[in-house]
Every structure is written in structure tokens, then in C-alpha cells.
């Protein structure tokens, strides 16, 4: 196992030099990343295609476009957010003045997953840099082409004492987690999140944990079913269901279940054709995940899809009917293009069923009824979500993105990213 003590020491010394506290220096770093991503757009598309068979349009939107928008937002606001703010002082404190002084934590560690291998590595890094930290990034070993591209982008353009990419597998993460970073930002599974939290507890290092979970899409009987079908299928089947905020399962009112499933099937046919082509649809990331997902195809009754091809790590967008909470597919996050459908008769039943389980990362509700919207969104705790849509709550930098409970802690995107990587120091001056 490698020892990263020297790297972290170098970053700590560089941080102490005060250079990263200069906002012009941070802006220059963000601009360098922006320019690299813009001028290497095709390389990024090719790397993500080689790793996941992700279509160009999806990489442009969800990997490159989103990160560039995040960088622009930081460049626009960084000066304001970094400035010390004066706040009122109670009369009891006499003539004193009070300030909130934002300061970067120092040396940060970002560990990222494979499913959006550019976005989920670079977006947190952008937050760390904007807030004035140094950073070590450990991308996922399951997307080696993208990880190596990220290593090139960072290690050829920045000194290792400022920002550095370390490629490697679990042992690399384990070794990095032994170091005394000032902040850890982890995106990945709930199980590994626990390992990261335990490691961070030893040094009392603050962490953000962006984890997963089973995110429901609840479809009430008054929902616009064409809209619900299109948006659920869109959110679920993009990237072969390997999206942390993809609807994991559908809870449909029993009056509309049949019609909804029929419409999802139509959306699938209109989007991909009668037979989904294995060569253009995104791959499942590995043989291990393929085998895990394939086992779910025996659950309930197959309503749509179900074709698989191990050689191409291909699983067709699939809809499973007659599913119960006891089925294997309902025990853990699916993270693949398989959508089970369950039913409810009363909204309270759906609310109770979701609340009986760990808090989801996302929740989607399709209904026009504002009382139902209120009821569901007030009673159920979840990371974030959408009414009459899926996924898009995470693509705006005005909404903090993160989980709660088993789906994570802390949030990022836009101002929330800056705040996550910043300690707000309170100062009273007399």
C-alpha cells in the first residue's frame, strides 16, 4: 500500500503559504479546468464512451455541460461569497462589531464513483478550489479511461502541492483515508460511506457523504400519465439506470398502474425502437453488477424488456410487474435499467411504505393535487426531489444537492458547494 503522507504534507505546506486564499488564484485554476474541458471535449466523450458506452449527447449534457455551468457560476460569485460579512451585534455587547469570515478548510480529499465519472469527480473539485482549498482526487477504478483522462487534466496542469489526482482501487482509498485531511468529500455507496465516516471519525475530519438509496416515483390516480411515463422512463433508463437519483421503483395508484405501464412501454419503444440496440445503449459497468442485476429479472412478472447480453454488459430497459416489498429487487438500490412497479390504494399507504424504509436520496411525486403534494413532501424525509418530474432538481445550481440519513449528509452544487468546503469563522471585535 502506498503512503500518501508526503503528498498531503506538501499540500498542507502549500495551503499555509496562503496562495489559495487569493481569489484570483482560485479563478485561474477554475479557468484552466474550464479551458481543458472545452478544448478536450471529444477526448472526454471518447473516454466515457469507452468506459460506459455513454452516448455523446448524454456526456455533453451531464458530464461536461453541467460542470462548465458550475464553474461559470463559481467564477461569477466567488468574490462575493469569499468576502467577510458584517452582521449585527446585540446591544448587550456594547460597542462591539461582529463578522463572519469564510475560510477554506485546507487540504481536502475527494473520492468519486464511476457512474458519472467526470461530473461526480470534477464538480466537487470545483467547489473545493472555489473555496480556496488544496485537493487530492481519487476517481473510480471502474472507469479507467476517464480516470486517466482526469489524471492528465489535473496532473499536467497543476502542481501536486495544489491539486493532484491519484488513480487506484480500494487500497488507494484506504491509504488516503489514513491521512489527516481537513475535509473529505465522498460520493458512492452507503456501505463505503460508512467506511469513510469511520476513517474520518478517527481524525474528526468533517465529511460530506453523497450516497445512494431506493428513490421512489409515486404516481397518484390524477397524474398526467403521459408526462409521468415520459419523465419516469427518461430518468430511469438514461445511463442504463446507473444514476444515483434515478427513480428506483414506481409506486402507482392501483387505478392507473396498468395504463402507466403501457405508456412507459410506449416511451421505451419511441425512444429506442422495438428492440433496444446493445451497441448504442449504455453498458452496465462490470460483470459483477451485470450478474447482480440479471438475478432480479426472475422477480415478479416481466412486463417489458428483459433481454440481456453478458458479452456487451447489456441489459434492456425492463419493467417488472407483480412485485412485492419482499422481492430481492426491493431490498437494495437497483442501480440498473430495471424498474419494478408496486401499487397503493391510499396515499397514506404509500407514505407509510416509504417511511418504513431508509430515507431515500430522491423522491418523485406525480399528481396535480396540491394537498397530496403537501402531504407527501411534508411527511417523508428524503434528500431532494421533484413534483411532476424526475432528476432535474439536481441539475440546477440554485438547489443544494445531497442526501439525508442513509442517503448521505451534507450538500453541494452552486453556493452549497462553496459553503461545504468553507468554514465560517465567527469574529467579535471590540
| Residue closer to ligand NAD, measured from CB, 87 or 170 | 170
Nearer to ligand NAD, 177 or 347 (CB): 177
Considering only 126, 149, 244, 276, the residue that binds ligand NAD (CB under 6 A) is: 244
**3-class SS at 422?**
strand
The catalytic position among 161, 210, 316, 333 is: 210
- Residue 372: is it exposed, middle or buried by C-beta count within 10 angstroms (0-12/13-18/19+)? buried
CB atoms < 10 A from the CB of 146, how many? Answer: 29
Q: Which is nearer to ligand NAD, 126 or 372 (CB)?
A: 126
C-beta of 136: minimal distance to ligand NAD in Å?
A: 12
Grid coordinates representing 410? 451534507
143 alpha-carbon distance from chain centroid: 16
Q: Which residue is nearest to ligand NAD (CB)?
A: 212
173 binds ligand NAD (CB under 6 A): yes
The Cα 216–Cα 236 span in angstroms is: 11
Q: Are 32 and 26 in contact (CB under 8 A)?
A: no
DSSP code of 282? P
Shortest distance in whole angstroms from residue 338 CB to ligand NAD: 15
Grid cell digits, residue 242: 446507473
CB of 88 to ligand NAD, least distance (A): 37
198 is catalytic: no
Place of cell 489514513: 178
Q: Cell 445511463, residue? A: 239
Which span (61-69, 112-120, 122-130, 148-156) binds ligand NAD, by CB under 6 A? 112-120
Cα–Cα distance for residue pair 239/347, rounded to 1 Å: 31
For residue 241 the three cell numbers come to 439506470
Contact between 140 and ligand NAD by CB under 6 A: the answer reads yes
User: With binding defined as CB under 6 A, does residue 179 bind ligand NAD?
Assistant: no
Is residue 395 a contact residue for ligand NAD (CB under 6 A)?
Answer: no
403 binds ligand NAD (CB under 6 A): yes
**Catalytic positions, written as ranges:** 210
Interacting residues toward ligand NAD by CB under 6 A: 111-115, 120, 138, 140-141, 169-170, 173-174, 187-189, 192, 195, 210-212, 244, 333, 335, 361, 403, 408
Amino acid at each position: 500500500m502506498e503512503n500518501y503522507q508526503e503528498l498531503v504534507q506538501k499540500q498542507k505546506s502549500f495551503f499555509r503559504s496562503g496562495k489559495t486564499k487569493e481569489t484570483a488564484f482560485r479563478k485561474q485554476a477554475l479557468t484552466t479546468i474550464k479551458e481543458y474541458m472545452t478544448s478536450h471535449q471529444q477526448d472526454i466523450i471518447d473516454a466515457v464512451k469507452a468506459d460506459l458506452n455513454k452516448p455523446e449527447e448524454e456526456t455533453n449534457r451531464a458530464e461536461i455541460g453541467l460542470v462548465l455551468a458550475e464553474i461559470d457560476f463559481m467564477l461569477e460569485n466567488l468574490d462575493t461569497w469569499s468576502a467577510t460579512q458584517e452582521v449585527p451585534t446585540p446591544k448587550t455587547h456594547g460597542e462591539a462589531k461582529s463578522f463572519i469570515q469564510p475560510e477554506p478548510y485546507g487540504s481536502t480529499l475527494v473520492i468519486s464513483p464511476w457512474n458519472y465519472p467526470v461530473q461526480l469527480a470534477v464538480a466537487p473539485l470545483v467547489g473545493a478550489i472555489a473555496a480556496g482549498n488544496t485537493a487530492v482526487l481519487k476517481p473510480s477504478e471502474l472507469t479507467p479511461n476517464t480516470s486517466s483522462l482526469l489524471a492528465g487534466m489535473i496532473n499536467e496542469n497543476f502542481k501536486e502541492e495544489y491539486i493532484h489526482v491519484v488513480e487506484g482501487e480500494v487500497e488507494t482509498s484506504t491509504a488516503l483515508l489514513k491521512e489527516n485531511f481537513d475535509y473529505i468529500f465522498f460520493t458512492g455507496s452507503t456501505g463505503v460511506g460508512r467506511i469513510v465516516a469511520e476513517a474520518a471519525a478517527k481524525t474528526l475530519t468533517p465529511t460530506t457523504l453523497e450516497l445512494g438509496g431506493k428513490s421512489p416515483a409515486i404516481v397518484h390516480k390524477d397524474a398526467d400519465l403521459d408526462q409521468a411515463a415520459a419523465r419516469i422512463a427518461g430518468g430511469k433508463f438514461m445511463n442504463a439506470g446507473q444514476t444515483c437519483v434515478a427513480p428506483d421503483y414506481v409506486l402507482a395508484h392501483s387505478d392507473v398502474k396498468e395504463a402507466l405501464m403501457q405508456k412507459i412501454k410506449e416511451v421505451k419503444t419511441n425512444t429506442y425502437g422495438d428492440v433496444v440496440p446493445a451497441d448504442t445503449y449504455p453498458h452496465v459497468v462490470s460483470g459483477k453488477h451485470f450478474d447482480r442485476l440479471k438475478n432480479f429479472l426472475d422477480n415478479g412478472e416481466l412486463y417489458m424488456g428483459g433481454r440481456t447480453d453478458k458479452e456487451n454488459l447489456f441489459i434492456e430497459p425492463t419493467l417488472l410487474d407483480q412485485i412485492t416489498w419482499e422481492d430481492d429487487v426491493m431490498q437494495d438500490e437497483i442501480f440498473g435499467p430495471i424498474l419494478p412497479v408496486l401499487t397503493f390504494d391510499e396515499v397514506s399507504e404509500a407514505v407509510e411504505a416509504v417511511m418504513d424504509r431508509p430515507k431515500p436520496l430522491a423522491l418523485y411525486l406525480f399528481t396535480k393535487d396540491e394537498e397530496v403534494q403537501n402531504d407527501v413532501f411534508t411527511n417523508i424525509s428524503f434528500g431532494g426531489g421533484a413534483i411532476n418530474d424526475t432528476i432535474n432538481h439536481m441539475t440546477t445550481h440554485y438547489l443544494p444537492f445531497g442526501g439525508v440519513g442513509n442517503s448521505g449528509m451534507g450538500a453541494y452544487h452552486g453556493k452549497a458547494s462553496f459553503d461545504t468546503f468553507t468554514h465560517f469563522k465567527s469574529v467579535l471585535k471590540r
